[in-house]
Amino acid sequence: MPKPILPSIQSPDDIKCLREDDLPQLAQEVRDELVRVLSEENPTSVGGHLGPNLGVVELTIALHRVFSTPKDKFVFDVSHQGYVHKIFTGRRDRFDTIRQYEGLNGFLLRSESEHDCYGAGHAGTALSAALGMAVGRDLRGTDDHVVCVAGDAAFTCGVSYEAMNNAAEQTKRLIVVLNDNEWSIAKNVGAIATYLNKIATNPAYAHLHEKASNFVKMIGGQFALDFAHRVEAGVKNLILPSVIFEELGFRYYGPIDGHDIPLLIRTFEFLKTQNEPVILHILTQKGRGYAPALEKPDKFHGLGKFEPKTGATKPTLTPTYSELFGRTLSKFAESNNRLVAITAAMPTGTGLASFAQDHPSRYFDVGIAEEHAALFACGLAVQGFKPFLAIYSTFMQRAYDMIVHDMALQKLNVALCMDRGGLSGDDGPTHHGLFDIGYLRHIPNLVFCTPRDEAEFVDMLWTMNHYSGGPIAIRYPRGTGTGAKPADQPRLLEIGKSEVIRHGGSQPVRVALFGLGQMCAMAEAAAEMLEARGISAAVINPRWIKPMDHGTLEFYSRAADVICTFEDHVLHNGYGCSVMEHLSEEGITTPVVRIGWPDEFIEHGSVDVLRTKHGLTAEAAVERVLALLETVVTVEKPVGQA
């Protein structure tokens, strides 16, 4: 049995010292390490992006063999495929901690390593950032290389083409690796995916590529690569009259086998010498080397810990909000033939896979193109349809201009369904949905709600289905809720009307607790603690962020000594802010305690750990309320005095 290689890799320089014949063994050891760390074999595992990283093992080896970070810059699009890069750049001793509190982040972070030149978590950012770095290098007059690694899914993003449109005029040295595995999270869709597939699968071109590759391997050197490029370029023009990348100013090379380490190394050595922007098209397998991930690439894009031999994961006892969303929308569509569903490359993540199966003609996956998705929904609304646009809260930020300028201004009947509203735990700051209240609540003509449990979630979706007054938005959390079973027949909720869960008993109310969405459970727990101390507390489920139930707020603010708001959102410009704004406008001086996230980007980790650290607990709320009550001079006043 050969001696293990991976334990000896402490830095990229160690890869350069290996014999080339040893590199395939290193690739296998890295794959074994990925499966071990992300599966149940690692007791502390919380899972992660297995499939994408299995697919870039050879690519990452070749990059570090040929280039030298941190001097040379690797810009990974999304950067969820950066685990192998982390292992090779001095972080293997902490790799068991990935995506855990105070452990390695699941994406690249500039603050984590000097080898991470650019942080990311959203798709389509790499080409523009890499071009900026290349131009900055040119202005400084240094000789470092900038390599952008972007999956084929990134080329469904409009911003990628904005970068390519500028590249040839702004730099002479930029290497872009198009990592083509035909998947983003789901199977790629659209004309670009078809175009790339046409290049990759054309029999005549494949035959030529094989001959050219063999020639490069056999002879080596720049002459061979120049010759191969000239031959390939000629045949490409016969097969595909216009290679889109070359029309945009990039010299196109490929496609080549992205798992052939010697070929990758020789090609990168050649591309380092080129004095023009180049695109290297490589073909890889998402989930390479691990059968369960090859069979279900969408599942193994990102998942919790799993059984390593079979890839099986433990089923949840109750459906997630995402699953409930897809099933519910599919049911509603049976009686509403105007209901359509749209997602941006996330049919599984948003729960719309079931809708797609039941109503394929009314389901639209537009790829990673949130701006287009929003405008597409507007066009459908103009034609009398009811589009439900399902996009994670953190990705809906990309469609902000369309929500303001197209939906709200024209009062178009689009339903914005923001999954992962609130903390997204192990995914970290790029994926926490902690800003949507702030970026939506001030927009005219927009209605905005959030449910406290699954039963209310279905009622809200039913209400959205029947609403025709303009755009209406809903935010809901990642994962499962309280397990509240939805009614067989959903209710139409009164828009702008909150729900009083407990009034405070027979004693005059001293504290009114407003628990927004899933934080209502925390408000109820705080009320129990206060009641145990003999302090009467009311609990209100606001339901509606906009329009706010001003009547109920004013009633309790005049009846109680202290108001306390709970929200899974940043405090700045959040729900608690809107409460304080209204009380100020009405001249009501009742003090307000706000429980929410501070003005900073919240790190990754389990939700419970992060809530405790940042004071989002019932105990912390009670402590702050009690401290404030001690400063309040209680004045006898009739309950509900106006």
Residues noted as catalytic: 286, 370, 398
Q: Are 414 and 407 in contact (CB under 8 A)?
A: yes
Measure the CA–CA gap between 62 and 257, rounded to whole angstroms.
12
Residue 213 host element (H or E): helix 203-219
3-state secondary structure string, 447-509? Answer: EEECCCCHHHHHHHHHHHHHCCCCCEEEECCCCCCCCCCCCCCCCCCCCCCCEEEECCCCCCC
Q: What is the DSSP string of 403-440?
A: IIIIIIHHT---EEEETTBB--GGG-TTT-B-SHHHHH
Measure the CA–CA gap between 94 and 214, rounded to whole angstroms.
40
Measure the CA–CA gap between 131 and 129, rounded to whole angstroms.
5
Q: Give whole-number Cα distances, 447 to 49, 74, 254, 397, in Å.
A: 35, 43, 50, 17
* DSSP annotation of 338: T
What torsion do the CA atoms of 70, 74, 79, 80 make, to the nearest 10 degrees?
-80
- Sign of the alpha-carbon torsion through 634, 636, 639, 642: negative
Measure the CA–CA gap between 147 and 1, rounded to whole angstroms.
36
Q: What angle do CA 566, 628, 437 make, to 5 degrees?
A: 25
- Of 142, 118, 115, nearest to 129 by C-alpha is 118
**Residue that is written with structure tokens 């105990």 in the block:** 619
Q: Are 271 and 253 in contact (CB under 8 A)?
A: yes
